[in-house]
Structure 1
Amino acid sequence: MARRQGTRSALICSIADQGVSAGTNIAVLIVAARRSDVHAFATFSLVYTVFTVLLGLTVAYVGQALVLEKDEPGEGRTVARACRSAVVFTALAAAALGAPAALVLWATGGTTAAALAALALVLPLALTQETTRYAFSILQRPQHALAADVLRLAAVLPALAVQPPGAGAPRLLLAWGLSALPALAVALWLLRRHTRGAGQDPGRYLRRDHLGRRFAVEFGVGNAGSQLAIIGLGLIANPLAVGALRGATTLYGPMNVLFNAATGFGPPLLNRVGEPRRAARAAGAAGGVLAAVAVAWTTVLVLLPDGYGRALLGDTWASAAGLLPATGSQYAAMALGTCGLLTLRVLRPRTTLPIQLVFSLVSVGCLLGGYALGGVLGAAWGLCLGSAAKGTASWVRAVRLLRSHPGPDEGVPLPVVRRLRARCGWSRSSPRP
């Protein structure tokens, strides 16, 4: 009973931590929009998107590999050592990247370069604090990650709110980054308590067999493509386009929380269903519910009076409001696509990477083509079209796999197959019942 309650508490803390982290990102963009004019927020959004890409790469290269660690037989400190190594590597790598980048960008001059330089200066703080969240997860201490993230939220909002009206993007970014110091200090103190004496080996993350390399490639082809296209759109075409797109997506922060929860907890739950067709139906039902929530949320935002909209996004509301139908349609398509990819991960995990690769490129093409044809609104509908194409391809592939009547090795998780073989005396050469 005590173990079950501990597992339940850990699950609640993990979900709450995910919500606090997502809520912090939403609040940061809303407060930044209210404290700056439309041009400053456009620059802030552009640079914050750069940070989002760097954060995703860090999570893929360090965090996702870290949570797969486990203590080796006879060595009870393997996980603790991996946690210390991950945090130290993130801090050193971010500093090695950020310090010279800040010098070069500051010497370049210009508002965008100065904002990027400010990001480079605070990059070690922000990325290291994120890595501690994954360390606490593998240490089965999600309550510590939750405590640090609550402190992060409590520090960043006042730090941004006290900035003068019309504050520039570099100043806002410095305030945002430096506000991570209290949360980082608490996280490092808690981490030291649970990993004292474990040692560290940050060089392990530079070895050729490091799993993070594969995860980083999957992130690059699956998620970073459209973000990089938006960054390129702001640098080459019009920074205001980034502000408008970012402002519209900020309003869909609650949907991002639901998507993250589905991605994190969906595969284990679907694996418990067992039979592939039942798992696919459950994923499809979840996708339908999430799509309906996206449509309902879009309806609420479209009917929102301008006064309330300006209270949320300031001057950016005027440009973001016109994108709401396109962005809402994109999130509805993303809901179905996300659950389609979850289905494929249960049926045959290797099929997701080709789909991510091909249709991420399709999304980038739709984004740029839409902007060429219809400006910012065209870019928003282009993103919607790309998401719909990826979702359609995911479910088409899932239906084909289900029609092929997969055997135990393909349709059931490998540990289940091994247990069935052990109980029933099956072998690979034995005829299947």
Structure 2
Amino acid sequence: MPRRPRPRTALLCSVADQGVAAGTNIAVLIVAARRSDVHAFATFSLVYTVFTVLLGLTVAYVGQALVLEQGGAESVARACRSAVAFTAVAATALGAPAALALWVTGGGTATALAALALVLPLALTQETTRYAFSTLHRPHHALIADVSRLAAVLPALATQPPGAGAPRLLLAWGLSALPALAVALWLLRRHTRGAGQDPACYLRRDHLGRRFAVEFGVGNAGSQLAIIGLGLIANPLAVGALRGATTLYGPMNVLFNAATGFGPPLLNRAGDTRRAARAAGAAGGVLAGVAAAWTTVLLLLPDGYGRALLGDTWASAARLLPATGSQYAAMALGTCGLLTLRVLRPRTTLPIQLVFSLASVGCLLGGYALGGVLGAAWGLCVGSAAKGAASWLRVTRLLGAPHGGLRLPSLRPWRRLPKHSAAGEGRAP
């Protein structure tokens, strides 16, 4: 079996892989916006948001539990094969009948959703292989597969004719995952040959992926589902404008993911809670400043360059930049606040996520009712600001308690639990 990469090399490959994956999502939306008109991009954005929710659920239910897998090499290899097999089977079982029903229904949005359903197994299974490689401590293989994905998807979309419809763009996007999936499966087979698999283990009641899925649903999926509902019930163009504006903030999402992924170990080195909170607050302030600076750059961008990025969608997305920029500044502070709570007292994050995610949905819908798409963007900003304020208020209360000056707890609580099996059991981070 080939040797594992050195720790420093593995870290660099993990960071690079996150950057490539995030860059691919940004590039997909930019190229799709340039190859389609504003109505087709609105439909594409709506359906792509549906995929984002399904992807988040898959990562929560399968991927996050998989990366906590412990045991011998054969047990870990079996868990990886089981995760990939389960994703492929579940996505096919969901996608095939959905594609048929939506195709029979007809209509622009239904046909685009049918196209997504057809390619869903390819996209979701390729994503699961990334977590399998992470579990196997071979992030360089995930990087190879994701670079293959990026190299295939951009030409696939760029070669579509101008004015291409959303179903055609979605099929091109989905089928372009085939080369990356083939590479990933070949590499995975090299390291898991003979390990066997048990996809049914993900249907057991004690699989903690259910808890991950609940946390995703209350923490991240709420506002995305509200945007989907806004497009289906009210105006699909609203989804296109909102997605176009958030696409321009793709670099900020990369920074947020990096803070979430690498922040806890760095905060743990602070030694005590107050110092960790100050470090997290400083990081949040820096990220908020970066968001404000990036917003300024976008506002000063000439229309010609903006249209080169987003095509016809630029005009509607540009109107939302002040609101979206303010939202990302609030998200920077909120992300670091929740990160601090996860280090100080992890159980306190779920109630905040639940309450204020629902509040964000209400702000989004209320803002749209009062001010259309622009009102919806400002509603999202208000919701993010409220969540950030609540998280830092909770941090302040924890620091004011008698235990506020104690040293930080361990950031690896699952190591205190009994070793779980290859059935995909684990615990939430």
What TM-score bracket applies, with the shorter chain setting the length?
Answer: over 0.9
Aligned pairs (5 A) from 1:31-430? 31-71=31-71, 75-406=72-403, 411-413=408-410
Q: Secondary structure at the match of 1:377?
A: helix
For 1:215 and 1:305, the matched residues in 2 are separated by 43
For 2:212 and 2:5, the matched residues in 1 are separated by 33
For 2:84 and 2:4, the matched residues in 1 are separated by 30
Question: In 2, are the aligned partners of 1:106 and 1:113 still within 8 Å (CA)?
Answer: yes
TM-superposed CA distance for 1:265, in Å, is: 1.1
In structure 2, relative to structure 1, the CA distance for the partners of 1:193 and 1:123 (3 Å cut) is same
Between structure 1 and structure 2, the one with the greater Rg is 1
What is the match of residue 423 of structure 1?
A: none
Q: Partner amino acid for 1:6? A: R
**How many residue pairs were aligned?**
413
For 1:406 and 1:244, the matched residues in 2 are separated by 47
Q: Partner amino acid for 1:131? A: T
In structure 2, relative to structure 1, the CA distance for the partners of 1:170 and 1:415 (3 Å cut) is closer
For 1:385 and 1:58, the matched residues in 2 are separated by 29
Question: In 2, are the aligned partners of 1:132 and 1:187 still within 8 Å (CA)?
Answer: yes
In structure 2, relative to structure 1, the CA distance for the partners of 1:414 and 1:190 (3 Å cut) is closer
For 2:285 and 2:198, the matched residues in 1 are separated by 45
Question: In 2, are the aligned partners of 1:57 and 1:216 still within 8 Å (CA)?
Answer: yes
Question: In 2, are the aligned partners of 1:274 and 1:412 still within 8 Å (CA)?
Answer: no
TM-superposed CA distance for 1:76, in Å, is: 3.3
Question: In 1, are the aligned partners of 2:367 and 2:379 still within 8 Å (CA)?
Answer: yes
Give structure 1 stretches of 5+ with no counterpart: 420-433
Q: Partner amino acid for 2:70? A: K
TM-score w.r.t. structure 2 length? Answer: 0.94
What is the match of residue 8 of structure 1?
A: 8
TM-superposed CA distance for 1:414, in Å, is: 7.2
Question: In 2, are the aligned partners of 1:347 and 1:411 still within 8 Å (CA)?
Answer: yes
Q: Secondary structure at the match of 1:223?
A: helix
TM-superposed CA distance for 1:411, in Å, is: 4.3
- RMSD of aligned Cα (Å): 1.7
TM-score w.r.t. structure 1 length? Answer: 0.93
Q: Partner amino acid for 2:67? A: V
- Runs of 4+ aligned residues of structure 1 deviating over 6 Å after TM superposition are 407-410
Question: In 2, are the aligned partners of 1:221 and 1:357 still within 8 Å (CA)?
Answer: yes
In structure 2, relative to structure 1, the CA distance for the partners of 1:414 and 1:314 (3 Å cut) is closer
For 1:222 and 1:107, the matched residues in 2 are separated by 34
| Same amino acid, percent of matched pairs | 87
For 2:267 and 2:223, the matched residues in 1 are separated by 28
For 2:293 and 2:411, the matched residues in 1 are separated by 39
Q: Secondary structure at the match of 2:370?
A: helix
In structure 2, relative to structure 1, the CA distance for the partners of 1:132 and 1:56 (3 Å cut) is same
Q: Secondary structure at the match of 1:406?
A: helix
TM-superposed CA distance for 1:223, in Å, is: 0.2
TM-superposed CA distance for 1:408, in Å, is: 9.0
TM-superposed CA distance for 1:412, in Å, is: 2.0
